């Protein structure tokens, strides 16, 4: 019966806030999904149901909406919006010792009408989701930027050979295959004075270019090159974590039908898939501490 | 015990085929999800388990892959690939009287590397899914093109007022609201000599432009304008069917926090949502017959 | 420019209402997802943006909630709740000529505590979703009951052999295979005086028993037996429509590892899958008219 | 350019294996989704593309299938199957220093036919997914059992009052509300000699009973009681981690329609939701070390 409370946290998850900037023409638009997790002195609520120190998750939601209005410029980037929110909870709510704010940003592009950019109409750009994790504790803020659902594919320049063989190995080596993955990447900013939008765009482009330009002898090798490219492109980044599913494309055997298949017709399989995860660090960078949310996809 | 068999059909659904065109440089890529439904003389299989007339769904899958190789040019558009497949099943398998081939095409864009277009690397363009439904029966082919998951939003130029009120009406009229929808559209080509890629792009652009340019007094009105725009942009189209969820964006009441909210901060709700469905027809166009698959989203 | 409006409908989709019955002990619980589609004299809204006849979808949502309170006994079955709602829209809103109400019901089971049934605590029973489609027009009501996501599997008593072979057929006949499907069934009640809960349970049990008891020479044959079983079990049902994906379980070839696999180890594949759809009718039953929503899964 | 490789791991994810036990009558069935992650001496593959030490993920998949045949009794529980698999990779593949095997088990129940249990037919029991995470390193194995998607709801015996209020707090205290959650729980077994099936069932029942029997002053309090109940029910468990979304059910204001709503009609909201996460530990239990996969939902 003598059980004890270990680590705990709570908050409001997935508050969907769309911020429209109407004080300029054309309008602008930011579309965010905000999740807040608070840690601190909340044991009473668990142990006795005394909620005297519990900031309601409803108030957390209200704060997200109110801050989108009051901190209009901060809300333009998930990193800066996460920073004002996380600092608020730690600074203004005494019993909160750590706040972690995870934000997904869904990109939109401006539509055109009559050959001109439309001032008030947008289309969702589904190429990727931009992510941010801001953690505030003990007077320090940690910022991680990332993206997911960036799906890329190479039709050649990929081989996989010379691998270890055991009793259960039946795969044939190949010097030419399709390689495809859905990039889930997160990178930690060691410093704070960052132009978030510019830095994100540089990292996104670095990931794409490294994937496109590299000759791949293994998805592991490509992962390292992609992480290195982010470090090269964004100076303040100390560490990059990548989780890359190997979305298998199997060349279909068409010989029963009297047909050749010189790597032209592929079956895109769902499951199982390879899953390659790795960390690329800048030499001499400090340790990231609590910057990365361990529950967020990448599993150490 | 005297039960009878009514309408039936069967086939292989969701064969995921990726066709790479390597005989040119740069490579090209088509990514399709092919579902085939066959009708005909298949009662024996249902009534007695005699499968002597049943073309296996495994053979249907094999045919999709083999045709992607043999009919390389047809495979470049879902409409033309659907046509060769549907005609094959009706022409070459005697017991098949009708074949319906539904194809989803996932668009990809070429990546860049070093400032140049990458010859062999692509990124999935998640803005929409292109669809096609080809139905072949009695020597005739019917072609429907469409798209889904095209998510668009207007920050203004949308009102909703002057509506009918009953006992359960509490909505306040508004002269300025955010309007957002995920476009699911299908349009039927009355004739066959169509440049499919060009026609699709014209229709997609017409849908986007009509949404962007219109002043909306109801999503119903915008639906009609979007359908009309497709008819204007693609001459051979006889009928357009649209299914438009009204993805509500509610302006958040910030007055408890002493804040104004002049249509700047919105809560994007998931459910429930309005659902507006409608048909726009070219005057004098013939009836579409079996062209539209009634099970495909739009419900008459 | 001379375009015309064809069939249209609109309403509120996926209103999630949970009705708790607290006037008895133990409490009871009904969990519904209600979608309403209205047709009628709504052309003005499409053509000119004049909404004078448009009942707002917000009012539709309000009606669902209010009726869950006012029509407490009707809300206990999706069919009876659909009937009061559909009749209300047709009878009380002059411009509505047809109302279709689709309801999904998520079943819950009572939890136990201390060896006794818990009076106020429930667990979601995820075995299936019960569905209902009620269509009201011209003074007549049509009721369809159904279910989906009922996943069943036979480890033997299933064969597939003696099938038609063409150039693309490579499948080997088998006299023993795993057969699995996710049942999507809908059945139309020709009359109105039905004990809905009892009838649903009888149909659900008939589907399961027919699947379990039958020796299958094709999934087509099993489909017909399952539909026949519903007709036998529920007297007033005139027609049953079934959509059965063939969820392939492939016996894995373990011979490279020196192992036999006498139908013991299977790979459960996601895509592609066979899709078998069919109708079983009671001899002499009338035609179902508009009872079945053509957009609801089963595609004629 | 001087970048270094940090932590990495790789493997095959989501191998879907169904094991049928046909050497007894009636047949039995186990349905698993197996994901393997390996760590060790794999830097060469990342840094130079030399794959000489890389066990292919294809071989990992083959191993899962072969072991399901060779280790038939172990495959009957996800914990014991995870143990034989994880030990194999660490013991038999020299370059592997740690193996983590995560398994999801989808439960099935036997169907009935003619009043008797069907010997060969089953229905998927969708109430929950059973999970297991086995981690093997340095000669030690760590076993975590869990479940997810167990959705439970109380119609009363839940209040939320006396909470902290800040500028953004507008929630009214309540002494009677609906409380619903989807339980995601994991518990760590300190020792190895466990009857896995019995222990899982005891833990599942403890979670349900604690939820049903408790009077809740906060979901936090209920979380602690549920975790404590698992510790009480399964002696060897040292720590329980719970992640409980608060699935809000809002009583609908029906006063505009002249109706009372004494907690009878609720709107079940999707997003946002509260998210309460916490750890309950047995006093004096050792630290769990690497037992919990940090990437698996619960975020420290």
For residues D87 and D100, give the distance between their C-alpha atoms in angstroms, rounded to a whole number: 10
For residues C247 and C182, give the distance between their C-alpha atoms in angstroms, rounded to a whole number: 8
Q: What is the pLDDT of residues A83-100, one digit of tens each?
A: 999 999 999 999 999 999
Q: In Å, how far from its chain's centre is CA D182?
A: 11
Per-residue pLDDT, B220 = 98
pLDDT band at C193 (very low <50, low <70, confident <90, very high): confident
Dihedral sign of CA atoms C148, C153, C158, C162 in order: positive
pLDDT band at C63 (very low <50, low <70, confident <90, very high): very high
Nearest to D66 among C16, C208, C257 (CB): C257
For residues D223 and D232, give the distance between their C-alpha atoms in angstroms, rounded to a whole number: 14
Structure tokens at C254: 């373990």
**Host H or E run for residue A78:** helix A78-92
Section D132-139 average pLDDT? 94
pLDDT for C58 beyond 80: yes
For residues C213 and B178, give the distance between their C-alpha atoms in angstroms, rounded to a whole number: 56
C-alpha dihedral (D228, D231, D234, D235), degrees to nearest 10:
-140
Contacts of A62 in chain B (CB under 8 A): 256-257
Interface residue of B163, B175, B244 to substitute, partner C, most C CBs within 10 Å: B163
B-chain residue closest to D259, CA distance:
B168
Instruction: Confirm if C118 and C264 have CB atoms less than 8 A apart.
Output: no
Number of Cβ within 10 Å of residue D260's Cβ equals 9
Q: What is the pLDDT of residues C95-123, one digit of tens each?
A: 999 999 999 999 999 999 889 999 999 99
For residues C299 and B293, give the distance between their C-alpha atoms in angstroms, rounded to a whole number: 7
User: Average pLDDT, whole number, for chain D?
Assistant: 96
Instruction: Confirm if C10 and C38 have CB atoms less than 8 A apart.
Output: yes
With an 8 Å Cβ cutoff, are D294 and A295 in contact? yes
User: Average pLDDT, whole number, for chain A?
Assistant: 96
Q: What is the pLDDT of residues C154-164, one digit of tens each?
A: 999 999 999 99
Instruction: Confirm if D145 and D199 have CB atoms less than 8 A apart.
Output: yes
pLDDT for D297 beyond 80: no
D55-79 in b/e burial notation, b at 16+ Cβ within 10 A?
Answer: bbbbbbbbbbbbbbbbbbebbbbbb
With an 8 Å Cβ cutoff, are A111 and B62 in contact? no
Per-residue pLDDT, D294 = 86
Instruction: Confirm if D300 and A41 have CB atoms less than 8 A apart.
Output: no
Closest approach of A152 to chain D, Cα-based (Å):
19
Cis ω for the linkage preceding D30 (within 30 of 0)? no
**Host H or E run for residue A85:** helix A78-92
**Host H or E run for residue D249:** strand D249-251
Question: Tokens 């592929």 identify what position?
Answer: A266
With an 8 Å Cβ cutoff, are A170 and C270 in contact? no
Contacts of A6 in chain D (CB under 8 A): 239, 278-281
Size of the A and D interface in Cβ pairs below 8 Å: 291
Contacts of A126 in chain B (CB under 8 A): 125-128, 149, 151
Nearest to D271 among B168, B256, B270 (CB): B270
Per-residue pLDDT, B294 = 86
DSSP class per residue in A213-243? H--BS-HHHHHHHHHHHHHHHSTTEEEEEEE
pLDDT for A1 beyond 70: no
pLDDT for C187 beyond 70: yes
Q: pLDDT of chain B along its 300 residues, tens only?
A: 589 999 999 999 999 999 999 988 899 999 999 999 999 999 999 999 999 999 999 999 999 999 999 999 999 999 999 999 999 999 999 999 999 999 999 999 999 988 999 999 999 999 999 999 999 998 899 999 999 999 999 999 999 999 999 999 999 999 999 999 999 999 999 987 899 999 999 999 999 999 999 999 999 999 999 999 999 999 999 999 999 999 999 999 999 999 999 999 999 999 999 999 999 999 999 999 999 998 775 554
Closest approach of D50 to chain A, Cα-based (Å):
7
Structure tokens at D138: 């340095």
Radius of gyration of chain D (CA): 23
pLDDT for C93 beyond 60: yes
Residues sharing a CB contact under 8 Å with residue D159, sequence separation 6 or more, in sequence order: D173, D174, D175, D176, D177, D216, D217
Three-class HEC string of chain B:
CCEEEEEEEEEEECEEEEEEECCCCCCEEEEEEEEEEEEECCHHHHHHCCCCCCECHHHHHHHHHHHHHHCCCHHHCHHHHHHHHHHHHHHHCCCEEEEEEEEEECCEEEEEECCEEEEEEEEECCCCEEEEEEEEECCEEEEEEEEEEEEEEECCCECECCCECCCCCCCCCECCCCEEEEEEEEEEECCCCCCHHHHHHHHHHHHHHHHHHCCECCHHHHHHHHHHHHHHHCCCEEEEEEEEEECCEEECCCHHHCCCCCCCEEEECCCCEEEEEEEEEECCCCCCCCCCCCCCCCCC
Instruction: Confirm if A145 and A192 have CB atoms less than 8 A apart.
Output: no
Contacts of C168 in chain A (CB under 8 A): 257
Number of Cβ within 10 Å of residue D215's Cβ equals 13
DSSP class per residue in A266-292? EEE--SSEEEEEEEEEETTPPP-TT-S
Taken in order of first residue, the domains within chain B and their CATH numbers are 9-138 (3.10.270.10), 148-300 (3.10.270.10)
Section C173-192 average pLDDT? 96
Contacts of B274 in chain C (CB under 8 A): 10-13, 57
Radius of gyration of chain C (CA): 23
pLDDT for A178 beyond 70: yes
Which residue out of B27, B57, B154, B279 is catalytically annotated?
B57
The B-side interface with D (CB below 8 A) comprises 167-168, 170, 256-257, 270-271
Per-residue pLDDT, D25 = 87
Per-residue pLDDT, B139 = 85
For residues D60 and D12, give the distance between their C-alpha atoms in angstroms, rounded to a whole number: 6
For residues B85 and B75, give the distance between their C-alpha atoms in angstroms, rounded to a whole number: 10
pLDDT for A298 beyond 60: no
Enumerate helices (H) and strands (E) in chain A, giving the number of each.
Answer: 5, 13
Instruction: Confirm if D27 and C178 have CB atoms less than 8 A apart.
Output: no
D168-176 contacts at long range (C-beta below 8 A, 24 or more positions apart): D168/A59, D168/A60, D168/A62, D168/A63, D168/A66, D168/B257, D169/A55, D169/A56, D169/A58, D169/A59, D169/A62, D170/A58, D170/A59, D170/A62, D170/B256, D171/A56, D171/A58, D171/A59, D176/D263
pLDDT for A154 beyond 90: yes
Per-residue pLDDT, C222 = 98
For residues B34 and B206, give the distance between their C-alpha atoms in angstroms, rounded to a whole number: 26
Instruction: Verify whether residue C56 is a known catalytic residue.
Output: no
Per-residue pLDDT, D126 = 92
């Amino acid at each position: 019966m003598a059980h004890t409370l270990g680590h705990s946290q709570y908050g409001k998850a997935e508050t969907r806030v769309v911020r429209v900037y109407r004080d300029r023409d054309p309008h602008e638009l930011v579309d965010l999904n905000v999740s807040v997790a608070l840690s601190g002195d909340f044991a009473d609520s668990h142990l006795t149901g005394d909620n005297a120190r519990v900031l309601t998750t409803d108030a957390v939601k209200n704060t997200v909406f109110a801050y989108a209005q009051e901190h209009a410029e901060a809300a333009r980037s998930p990193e800066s919006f996460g920073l004002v929110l996380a600092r608020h909870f730690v600074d203004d709510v005494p019993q909160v010792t750590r706040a972690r704010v995870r934000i997904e940003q869904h990109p939109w592009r401006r539509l055109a009408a009559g050959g001109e950019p439309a001032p008030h109409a947008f289309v969702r750009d589904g190429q990727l989701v931009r992510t941010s994790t801001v953690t505030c504790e003990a007077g320090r803020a940690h910022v991680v930027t990332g993206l997911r659902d960036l799906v890329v594919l190479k039709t050649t320049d990929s081989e996989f050979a010379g691998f270890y063989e055991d009793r259960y190995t039946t795969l044939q080596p190949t010097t030419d295959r399709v390689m495809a993955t859905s990039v889930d990447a997160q990178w930690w900013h060691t410093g704070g004075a960052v132009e978030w939008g510019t830095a994100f765009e540089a990292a996104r482009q670095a990931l794409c270019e490294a994937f496109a330009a590299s000759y791949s002898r293994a998805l592991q090798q490509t992962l390292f090159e992609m992480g290195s490219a982010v470090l090269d492109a964004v100076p303040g980044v100390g560490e990059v974590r990548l989780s890359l599913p190997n979305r298998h494309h199997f060349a279909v055997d068409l010989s029963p039908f009297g047909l050749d298949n010189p790597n032209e017709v592929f079956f895109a399989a769902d499951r199982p898939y390879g899953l390659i995860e790795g960390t690329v660090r800048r030499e001499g960078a400090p340790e990231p501490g609590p910057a990365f949310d361990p529950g967020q996809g990448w599993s150490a």
